[in-house]
Chain A
């Protein structure tokens, strides 16, 4: 038999532990011509026009690397020419015109033409084509091409039509190539006009892109970009900390603070066009305005952001974030627990006789989502609201929302990369939207006319009035504008994008 004495065992164990405790210093290699990004989601599909991926905001940074949009967008949400160099309506808004950029080629070398633009819009407009926002593209039809100018009839006026051309599914695909290879062929070998071409791809693993030498916007800073699909946050932290990746994003705020000042690393954490909010569903106790307003006035958003999110967040009182077009800083819903108590008392509620309802929340979907709701429930309890927390997952939230069966209060987020009020307040609060929580005729009467308002100034003012009315009525509880943590090697320069899309072609360069 083998004998291992206690002395020998202790010596071996001590040596092993000691070697592991010695700090290991490994040089973090400088970034060369290849940029490695530890990305937080997988890319399921290369088709940016149809299917679930096309409306996934977190994938847009990849799509914008391979494809171009009709209209471009700057990091501050302002719009700029994309594959369209000019666009607009005629005087009475019955026609649209679009000027197509010249001298652009697809990745396969064939020329980009106005026919590609028309075909793309028509493909996206088909009601049975799988585009989730086909109603946008179907609002114009009867296209006519004259040189580089396309004109079309407006079937239904949408004031934000051209903004949608910089938004979800607003990408141009190659007509001839797509018709030749079909959808499956396109998935296996996608072709765009973007700054990068697909070089290699393995689902749930990586996407390698090569610079497009003929890109109309100039050659990007890196010859090669590798998106590593690393959905697990711990692994993303490990990727950047070990130096195996050059950039990563959406890490826990605690890890961001730990790493941003570490030797060899830098960080940016800026607000993006994504907000956290609590939907209020009409019916039951929520029909009592005092209850709704008490809910709103008893939440100390600044403290929640400071304590739970380490200060990374911007408190908001409407569904417009500060960068949005209809943001009105004069609309305030102050933290006033005394007022909340008084409001509830007027309806016969108190701490001893609280109003009761359920609040639904995700857990782990957004940073500290569950913990925020726990804190809010605690604040509510102090004024006379007894809320029961129910955890649900994302899929259930969507199904309940679509069937207007959310709990009286439900936490979720809302993205709005084009910053237009119709795509935040409009779709979140109009009862005919499948995504609204509050349904009431008074609000519909205010919102309804704004969908087709042709006077832009009047339209924006109209939305501001709607937001003020919503705040006065307590129809929703906006919480905060999220901030996106980005960590990167210190020899890089990263420009944060307010849409949240990390675009290596235009926003990452060598320092």
Chain B
């Protein structure tokens, strides 16, 4: 049974990715703008244009171009980036770790911060404290990630310049890494000063991504907790004399967290999408920043690879969310 479920999910994932591949391939060639038009010199003639198109494989018909590309994709060859002159798989592999570290750190911050504020709001329910929390949370909900990014830039890079503004690491410390997971590797290898530098670079982009998600978590989790606090099992625990904090954390939370987790998984995909703008603002070298340049330069192979990669990430996040929610709620395991 489990095997059939897994097989089903994998089949659906492959079908989704195939559809995404077709759509992005066709759209890129239909939408105005191609890389040759952008780089062709003013004095070039039709022969020069044709030669460049042939050089980049853009002279064949769309079905033929697609067939050539998809044959490579199934063998792991996504082609060569027109602007970077490097294999697309290599480029994506070099940039993805930066985005993954940023996204997961932002998720962790959002969950911890959102959870803590939701718990605090529940503990302060029906007091002025809850009103303040709800008001601040409303502001957080209304402000998108890129506005947070700009506000953080003004605050921590200009007004109180205590944090580095751009990049992922001080260039002088960026040596001796085996992988591109700089943060994880520096922690695991005990290079804590380097890890500290990386974290200092990540604070602002992480907060920019985390705060909107944290606001969503606060809104939903606080509501769920308040409902859970009215249940009979909590009343029983209160009669037994347990403290309010324990009631919230150990009685109400495990029953209230389900819907929040499911929504967090969905919102996490939006967070990953938000890395595009945030990475650009902070000059953070992840796939988001790469995507902007790829689109501006109409780097077809790179755009195609990025879209498939984002598609795969979203699919994996959704699967992970479903599994997590099922693990916490036995009633869903057989759904």
Contact = CB atoms under 8 A, between A and B. Distances in A.
Contacts of B127: 1-4
B117 to A, nearest CB: 13
B129 A132 contact: no
A30 interface: no
Interface in B261-311: 279-286, 289-290, 292-293, 296-299
Interface stretch (A270-278, A376-384, A391-399, A470-478): A391-399
Interface string B120-158: 100111111100100000000000000000100111011
A358 to B, nearest CB: 15
B158 A238 contact: yes
Given A232-B283, A242-B157, A393 B33 contact: yes
Max count, chain A CB within 10 A of own CB: residue among B33, B94, B175: B33
B150 to A, nearest CB: 6
Q: How large is the interface on A (under 10, 10 to 19, 20 to 34, 35 or more residues)?
A: 35 or more
Contacts of B79: none
A468 interface: no
Contacts of A229: 283
B42 interface: yes
A435 interface: yes
Contact of B166 (A2, A5, A129, A239): A239
Given A45-B85, A205-B283, A228-B167, A402 B37 contact: yes
A508 to B, nearest CB: 18
A204 interface: yes
B120, B279, B296: most-surrounded residue (chain A CB, <10 A): B296
A171 to B, nearest CB: 15
Contact of B48 (A45, A47, A134): A134
Contacts of A136: 41, 43
Nearest to B154: A238
Contacts of A228: 166-167, 283
Contacts of B174: 200, 202
B40 interface: yes
A205 B285 contact: yes
B323 interface: no
B82 interface: yes
Interface stretch (B50-58, B62-70, B191-199): B50-58
Nearest to B128: A6
Contacts of A399: 32-34, 37
A395 B49 CA distance: 16
Interface in A177-207: 183-184, 187, 200, 202-206
A394 B55 contact: no
B47 A127 contact: yes
A101 interface: no
Interface in A197-252: 200, 202-206, 208, 226, 228-232, 234-235, 238-239, 241-244
B171 A38 contact: no
Contact of A244 (B120, B160, B161, B175): B161
A55 B268 CA distance: 39
Interface in A52-103: 52-55
Interface string A1-27: 111111001000000000010001010
Is the interface on chain B under 10, 10 to 19, 20 to 34, or 35 or more residues? 35 or more
Given A2-B124, A20-B159, A241-B158, A51 B85 contact: yes
Interface stretch (A288-296, A298-306, A425-433, A483-491): A425-433
A42 interface: yes
Contact of B39 (A5, A51, A203, A231): A51
A230 B171 contact: no
Given A239-B166, A242-B165, A204 B48 contact: no
Among A42, A129, A402: residue with most chain B CB under 10 A: A42
B55 A128 contact: yes
A3 B129 CA distance: 7
A441 to B, nearest CB: 18
A130 interface: yes
A400 interface: yes
A243 B161 contact: yes
Given A200-B175, A204-B293, A205-B284, A244 B164 contact: yes
Nearest to A402: B37
Contacts of B87: 184
Chain B CB within 10 Å — which of A9, A54, A132, A400 has the most? Answer: A132
Chain A CB within 10 Å, residue with most, of B34, B84, B126, B154: B84
A231 B283 contact: yes
A133 B167 contact: no
A264 interface: no
B84 A44 contact: yes
B38 A52 contact: yes
Contacts of A395: 32-34, 37-38, 296, 298
Most buried by A among B33, B85, B293: B85
B39 A244 contact: no
Contact of A204 (B154, B161, B283): B283
A126 to B, nearest CB: 9
Given A52-B82, A205-B285, A238-B154, A433 B43 contact: yes
Nearest to B244: A1
Given A45-B84, A395-B298, A204 B285 contact: yes
B145 to A, nearest CB: 14
A274 to B, nearest CB: 14
B5 interface: no
Residue of B39, B86, B128, B296 with most partner-chain A CB within 10 A: B39
A268 B174 CA distance: 33
Interface in B101-134: 120, 123-129, 132
A450 B161 CA distance: 57
B230 interface: no
Nearest to B150: A234
9 contacts: A44-B81, A132-B52, A184-B86, A202-B167, A228-B166, A398-B40, A402-B49, A432-B45, A433-B42
Interface of B: 32-35, 37-45, 47-49, 51-52, 54-56, 81-87, 91, 94-95, 120, 123-129, 132, 150, 153-155, 157-161, 164-168, 171, 174-175, 244, 279-286, 289-290, 292-293, 296-299
Given A55-B41, A235-B283, A238-B157, 11 more contacts: A1-B124, A52-B297, A128-B55, A136-B43, A204-B283, A208-B171, A234-B150, A235-B153, A235-B166, A402-B49, A434-B49
Interface of A: 1-6, 9, 20, 24, 26, 38, 42, 44-45, 47, 50-55, 127-130, 132-136, 168, 183-184, 187, 200, 202-206, 208, 226, 228-232, 234-235, 238-239, 241-244, 392-396, 398-402, 422-423, 426-428, 432-435
Ranked 6 nearest A-B pairs via Cβ = A395-B33, A427-B42, A4-B129, A205-B285, A242-B161, A396-B32
